[in-house]
Structure 1
Amino acid sequence: MIITDTHTHLYSEAFEDDRKDMIERAIQLNVSRFFIPAIDSTYTESMLQLENDYPDNVFLMMGLHPTHVKDNYKEELNHVEEMLAKRKFYAVGEIGIDLYWDKTTLLIQQDAFKHQIKLAKQYKLPIVIHCRDAFDEIFEILEQEKGNDLFGIFHCFSGNIKQAHQAMSYNMKLGIGGVATFKNGKIDQFLNQIDLKHIVLETDSPYLAPAPYRGKRNESAYITKVLEKLAEIYNVTQEHIASVTTQNSKDIFNT
């Protein structure tokens, strides 16, 4: 059984003291594929080091996270462009719009999102979308950009079934993580109405730990709790969930 964590911040400072042990714990549980989203240029070196340390397990994305779209965002986008031109990445991400923390940056967030979608199309890469309090704003841009060259993952999907179908209509898989295990997460109530071919697994570690670890530091090994929950929701084996979602990740990331 191969389990794929399509979204994990393994370079996070939260893992400073036990990163190697944390990664080994996951690998021992068959979590052997880690897709690493970018945040901004300050993490690039750490990401490259991770890939160097785990060349068979770590797959890097490049992008500017919406909460890090600040006054210097044009410089950060230049860094994204330079890195994409220099070497192979598996996605442009994580990118999108976040209106939870700061609504005043909406215009520059929209600009950065659109710019990075165009880069993804240029390099024929998937996008990995971060959306918080911004479904309408995200969908407005995806509607403008839709086409066969637009595809990817709606990371940490937490919307309703209507929003799920809208996301899928833009060639997006739904990234399902710890929220599916929450008592008030709601997505567990309709997931079984969505074909597994549209689902990938993720942790977003160190954030959004699944039950029974909710509120604690998340790590990639805990994706097994998400796997258990989806097996229960879909009434299939955990092996089946792992197999289908890993294949979906291969279809998206082309590896």
Structure 2
Amino acid sequence: MFIDTHTHLYSESFDEDRDIMIARAQELDITDFVLPAIDSTYTAKMWDLKERYPESMHVMVGLHPTHVKPESLADELSHVENELALRKHIAIGEIGVDLYWDKSTKEIQKEAFAQQIQWAKQYDLPIVIHCRDAFKEVFEVLEKEKNDRLRGVFHCFTGTKEDALRAIDFNLMLGIGGVVTFKNGKIDTFLNEIDVKHIVLETDAPYLAPTPYRGKRNESSYLVEVADKLSKIYNISIAEVGEITTNNAKKIFKLD
């Protein structure tokens, strides 16, 4: 049994074969799918998918850092706030800081990140963090917002061992996906020094497909490739990887 803790199944990339792709994953005992938000334009598609698969799909709300724009920020944050008041979400995410695409919005990205963390604490929800070229900035915000209600997942973790330990100190799980299978991924060189109790599995589909599918469209069924790599890193069975990481996901997202 596995849980894909980060998958954009509502993406246009799956419009031609979404149900077939979900069935492929379910046949491999991937039972639950956590859907990260991007911005308000995807909200309806996420909830439509939840309505079609009510037991399997779990919806987040949030504003992705690459969609933090000065002209739309107020409206987008209002949308997040309204959604939190209207419906039950499993987490706030994906949120954070991305300085790969646009450094000019750094300060408003940090402000949006902090605001959404505050709502997460208010609603007692975990956060799911997106961080690209921005570990310093992400940790600065987390340091200011840290308290005993802060918890979540550091999505697509690609940092150093020191970054991993610091994230864990903020009560964050490490979201491990296809990058762990890449030859130049680097995290496989130290991950065995991080207790598997701090790890959840994810695909980030349709992005970051694992080896041997690298460069192709990612999908949730490829989660088994990530589990296989972790079984080798930790020298435990794939079944054990599934059991431990599933329990971790259930704990952080409060899944039954």
Amino acid at match of 1:101: W
Specify the alignment match of 1:247 in structure 2: 247
Specify the alignment match of 2:59 in structure 1: 60
Specify the alignment match of 2:32 in structure 1: 33
SS at match of 1:61: strand
Distance 1:82 1:247 in 2: 31
Identical residues among aligned pairs (%) = 60
Is there any run of 5+ residues in structure 1 with no aligned partner, and where? none
1:87 deviates by: 1.1
Deviations 1:178-214 (A, max 9, x none): 0000000000011110001100000000000000000
Amino acid at match of 2:238: Q
Specify the alignment match of 2:7 in structure 1: 8
Deviating above 3 A after TM superposition, structure 1's stretches of 4 or more consecutive aligned residues are: none
What is the correspondence of 1:93-242 to structure 2 with a 5 Å cutoff? 93-242=93-242
Distance 1:242 1:74 in 2: 40
1:107 deviates by: 1.1
SS at match of 1:158: coil
Distance 2:15 2:108 in 1: 32
Specify the alignment match of 2:78 in structure 1: 78
Q: TM-score, normalised by structure 2?
A: 0.99
1:67 deviates by: 0.2
Distance 1:228 1:249 in 2: 18
Q: TM-score, normalised by structure 1?
A: 0.99
Is there any run of 5+ residues in structure 2 with no aligned partner, and where? none
1:110 deviates by: 0.7
Distance 1:25 1:56 in 2: 17
1:147 deviates by: 1.4
Deviations 1:48-91 (A, max 9, x none): 00000101100000000000001211100000010110010000
Specify the alignment match of 1:24 in structure 2: 23
SS at match of 1:192: helix
Amino acid at match of 2:185: G
Distance 1:217 1:120 in 2: 31
1:145 deviates by: 0.9
Amino acid at match of 2:29: N
* Pairwise CA RMSD: 0.5
Distance 1:53 1:28 in 2: 18
SS at match of 2:61: coil
